[in-house]
Amino acid sequence: MYHLSVIALDIARERAVEADRHRQAVLAHHAQAPKPNVVRTSAARVFAVVSRGSAAAVRRLDAGVADDLQHGLAHAE
């Protein structure tokens, strides 16, 4: 009977140690910084470049329309 108690305690201790190791592994995994998503980062950069390019084109177009309007008003006077 004594041997069964020792074996049960030993098994319980091993399970507790295993649970501790698992808990520490989970905590270590969650403590790491998340890896950046390459696809998402690349897509964001592409969209930023397109957005800046379209904004520059709109500014140039707006400046051209303003110049045309100014010349039209100058000739109308």
Q: Provide the pLDDT for residue 77.
A: 64
pLDDT tens per residue across span 45-57: 999 999 999 999 9
Tokens of 59: 């500014």
Q: Provide the pLDDT for residue 21.
A: 95
**Could you state, in order of their start, the residue ranges of all structural domains in the chain?**
1-32, 36-77
3-25 burial, b at 16+ Cβ within 10 Å, e below that, comes to eeeeeeeeeeeeeeeeeeeeeee
Instruction: Give the C-alpha separation, 73 to 64, whole Å.
Output: 14
CA dihedral sign, ordered 38, 43, 46, 51: negative
pLDDT under 50 in the chain at which residues? Answer: none
